[in-house]
Structure 1
Amino acid sequence: MRGSSASIAAVIVSGGEALVDLVPVESTVDHLAPRLGGGPYNVAIAAARLGVRSAFLSRISTDAFGDALVGRLRDSGVDLSLVQRGNEPTTLAVVSLDEQNAARYSFYTQGTADRLVVDPGPLPAEVTILSLGTLGMVLEPGATVYETVLRRESERGVLTALDPNIRADMISDAREYRKRFLSWLPYVDLLKVSLDDAEWLADGGDVLASAGEWLEAGPDAVVLTKGGEGLSVVTSEGEIVTTPTVPVDVIDTIGAGDTVQGALLAWLDQRGVTDLSALGEVDWSRALEHAAAAAAITVSRSGAEPPTADELARAR
């Protein structure tokens, strides 16, 4: 079934996989609880819950998990007009937690629905921000579809965001992926990477030096998430702005980076920002504080459960 972009009630589109995380209960694999997620899926929900008109671009299974995924999008206020459905199974991710409750993933993706997304054609004029990432930019044939959408929307002036959210076990040729990653950067305005992602992409090189090279290739800003050490942004103007994390009891880190991405995009949209180069140090500090506060709520709960605007307002 082909998605339709004829009518859409959204200004932010997040594209990529939707999947089910099987999360250990009380840190044991003897009991796994299903949690609905996927990086781009979480970004769409995070933005919508924060009051922004958000849509999700993907192919979702018609199985029971797929129905639940679609239902959660609908309940969160995400526009479904770009969602395609298929009878292929839902992607599964088995999650393990380390001593700090940081998540590690094993994926089951063979023949699953999300990797078979088809090109919806040009996105409607109402769309001003496009966000892509994670397995959506790895697994074919969907990766080529999202790459095509990225280039087309960038060329028409949409603010584009990329979170590669590296899953190294799913990348069969690291050298080829790094080369492909560099080919995306001329079409990317905002690059968000975790410190682990940045180190992997830099292939042993200095992260800040690599960030400078990535900025020269196209983006106006590189946002770096550093777990408990906070968030930083490096801009094309040479500014480096850092904000600390919000102290909280961490249940798990599932969806933390996705919440950062969704919250950043919501912050930009709510202020009408279409040119990241226009943001100064104070602007970036406020944007990062907003994203850090949202992520703190997510990690205080099991699974990827981004906050609503009301929850975030009360927390701040």
Structure 2
Amino acid sequence: MIVSGGEALVDLVPSGSTMDALVPRLGGGPYNVALAAGRLGVPTAFLSRVSTDRFGEALLRRLVESGVDVSLVQRGPEPTTLAVVALDADSSASYSFYTEGTADRLVTDPGPLPASASALCLGTLGMVLEPGAGVYETVLRREAERGVLTALDPNIRADLIADAAAYRARFASWLPHVRLLKVSVDDARWLAAGGDVTDSVKAWLDAGVQAVVLTKGAEGLSVRTAAGEVASVPTVPTRVADTIGAGDTVQGALLAWLVRRSVTDLTSLREADWREALRYAARAAAVTVSRIGAEPPTEAELERGH
């Protein structure tokens, strides 16, 4: 089972070319990862604290409808985090967040995850906003110690990071406990703090990460591993509605691919394996970007070539 931990929030997305009307869409990086993996038919659970407000009820219902186990979801009366989305000319998204006193920040340590949990995915706001960030960090270290396939997507939201140097140092402290690191090229550049991305990827691998997957927008996906394997695949051509949830779908699909094959040691994969995994993730992401908001595909949709 995959456990995805972090925020569940509501994206307020423009309904047209202006900001005159905003449509609520359910999302959040870790939430989208859980949806993607669950819809692809792999046992998946979501770990977070979700509001008891109307948005929270809708978030929980959508998880259940997508086949996601919600037994690790905590509830509270605090409001749901909101993100106002702006789309630029190529449909890329930027975000403004409203996070003060919201439910997902107040998650508490659930203790050891169920024995059936073979993969743990964390990232985005969950690893930034306290006190929840400290909780997820504890879970990461504990589950890595027992051999779970740990995955991280930092999904940088720079406006919410008050001290960039402190965050980069904390990020570095996570790496010995992370097996799969997925980053966008933009995030990799931010984390490199002006340094060379290739050098940073090598440093992350040297720190203990087994594989670094880079998402490069229209240029596709690539991976570099501690074993020296390098593979790249192109994006799948599609008409882009927006890019919300694309990277989260990649992460969910990659984890689904790995868990189906009972892969916990990424050094066991060869270049051909990585190409197959990346192609699968690229196909899933292509469906997501063809839709408004984060709407990952089901396995049935992929099989019929949606």
TM-score range, shorter chain: over 0.9
Q: Matched residues in 2 for 1:140 and 1:27: separation?
A: 35
Equivalent residue, structure 2, for 1:28: 18
Equivalent residue, structure 2, for 1:144: 134
Equivalent residue, structure 2, for 1:155: 145
Equivalent residue, structure 2, for 1:244: 234
AA aligned to 2:114 is P
Equivalent residue, structure 1, for 2:85: 95
- Which runs of structure 2 are paired with 1:183-198 in the superposition (5 Å)? 183-198=173-188
Q: Matched residues in 2 for 1:238 and 1:259: separation?
A: 25
Q: Deviations over 1:148-191 (max 9, x none)?
A: 00000000110100000000000000000000000000000000
Equivalent residue, structure 2, for 1:203: 193
AA aligned to 1:116 is L
AA aligned to 1:307 is P
Where 2:97 maps in the other structure, the secondary structure is: strand
Where 2:36 maps in the other structure, the secondary structure is: helix
Where 2:231 maps in the other structure, the secondary structure is: strand
Equivalent residue, structure 2, for 1:173: 163
Q: Deviations over 1:274-307 (max 9, x none)?
A: 1100000000000000000000000000000000
Match 1:108 to one of 76, 98, 104:
98
Q: Matched residues in 2 for 1:309 and 1:38: separation?
A: 21
The answer for unaligned runs of 5 or more in structure 1 is 1-10
TM-score normalised by structure 1 residue count: 0.96
1:47 paired to 2:37 = yes
Instruction: Give the fraction of aligned pairs with identical amino acids, expressed as a percent.
Output: 73
AA aligned to 2:190 is W
| Alignment coverage as a number of residue pairs | 306
TM-score normalised by structure 2 residue count: 0.99
Q: Matched residues in 2 for 1:182 and 1:92: separation?
A: 28
Q: Matched residues in 2 for 1:34 and 1:68: separation?
A: 11
The answer for unaligned runs of 5 or more in structure 2 is none
Equivalent residue, structure 1, for 2:251: 261
1:222 paired to 2:212 = yes
Report the alpha carbon displacement of residue 313 of structure 1 after superposing the two structures with TM.
Answer: 1.0
Equivalent residue, structure 1, for 2:263: 273
Q: Matched residues in 2 for 1:15 and 1:272: separation?
A: 20
